[in-house]
């Protein structure tokens, strides 16, 4: 049996929101099974403690994701967890190492070509989170409702033979205020990278996958696993790019690595 596995130097995943019905756990698990790396960065909101405090939702696939990440750590992948606003409770314990995973509030990644990237979740540059958390929680309810509608809409699309489509991402990019917020957020994060004298910044938080140049700083956002199902990767030649897994999983461009059937993991 031959399994197609893609090997990267580094992978960045953010905004998984384990513990919510909107989390695309099946797609993320498929991604983790088919992609390996020397470094794995979990850039915040991996767990959704906001939602778990209100009502417990945790499927076997959510548990499988945690086990898969821990298994990668045991096999030698260098894993760093940078908490976000939805899993901010972990910030009180940073820096600490648990199960082979280093929990830090921010970190620097040196690309293979020597460029340095600041890594943080990004919520500290969101004025709503900083100044009016109650408004953020209200928005969280509206967002959950949109995700709820989107879930059943995509069940219908799948039955009709259409691919996955994100209603919330579509609405976000159609609303002028949201577009203005995203632009302001990107520039604020880039200013922090400039202060820290690095070449780029990698973050999450706003669920918008992006790699752009803002003046002399590279801004990269890994997106999420609720709307977009995307990850950032660094290849072994130093290229930074976004993987859209809903597109790649059916048309994989993985490098083929021979693996015996008995060596294939279930998770």
Per-residue pLDDT tens over the stretch 166-180:
655 655 555 445 555
Nearest to 52, CA basis, from 131, 153, 140: 140
What's the pLDDT score for residue 136? 41
- In the chain, what are the domains? 2-263 (3.60.21.10)
Whole-prediction pTM value?
Answer: 0.76
What's the rounded Cα separation, in Å, for the pair 185 and 228? Answer: 19
* Beta-bridge partners for 237: none
What's the pLDDT score for residue 160? 76
What's the pLDDT score for residue 125? 87
The residue-averaged pLDDT of 10-37 equals 96
What's the rounded Cα separation, in Å, for the pair 37 and 57? Answer: 30
Mean pLDDT of the chain: 82
- CB contact at 8 A, 168 and 227: yes
Pull the structure tokens for residue 13. 């995943």
Pull the structure tokens for residue 42. 């979990």
What's the rounded Cα separation, in Å, for the pair 198 and 180? Answer: 25
What's the rounded Cα separation, in Å, for the pair 132 and 112? Answer: 40
């Amino acid at each position: 049996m031959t399994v197609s596995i893609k090997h990267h130097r580094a992978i960045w995943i953010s905004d998984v929101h384990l513990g919510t019905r909107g989390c695309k756990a099946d797609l993320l698990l498929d991604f983790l099974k088919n992609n390996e790396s020397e470094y794995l960065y979990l850039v915040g909101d991996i767990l959704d403690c906001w939602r778990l405090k209100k009502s417990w939702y945790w499927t076997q696939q959510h548990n499988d994701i945690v086990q898969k990440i821990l298994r990668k750590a045991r096999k030698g992948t260098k894993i760093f967890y940078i908490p976000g606003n939805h899993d901010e409770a972990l910030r009180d314990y940073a820096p600490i190492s648990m199960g082979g995973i280093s929990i830090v509030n921010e970190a620097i990644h040196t690309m293979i070509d020597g460029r340095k990237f600041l890594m943080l979740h990004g919520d500290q540059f969101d004025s709503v989170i900083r100044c009016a958390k109650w408004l953020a929680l209200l928005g969280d309810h509206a967002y959950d409702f949109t995700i709820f509608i989107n879930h059943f809409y995509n069940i219908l699309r799948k039955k009709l033979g259409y691919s996955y489509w994100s209603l919330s991402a579509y609405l976000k990019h159609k609303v002028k205020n949201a577009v203005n917020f995203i632009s302001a957020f990107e520039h604020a994060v880039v200013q922090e990278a400039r202060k820290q004298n690095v070449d780029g910044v990698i973050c999450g938080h706003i669920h918008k996958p992006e790699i752009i140049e803002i003046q002399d700083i590279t801004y990269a956002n890994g997106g999420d696993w609720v709307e977009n199902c995307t990850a950032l990767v660094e290849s072994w030649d130093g290229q930074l790019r976004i993987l859209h897994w809903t597109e790649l999983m059916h048309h994989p461009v993985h490098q083929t690595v021979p693996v015996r059937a008995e060596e294939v993991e279930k998770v």
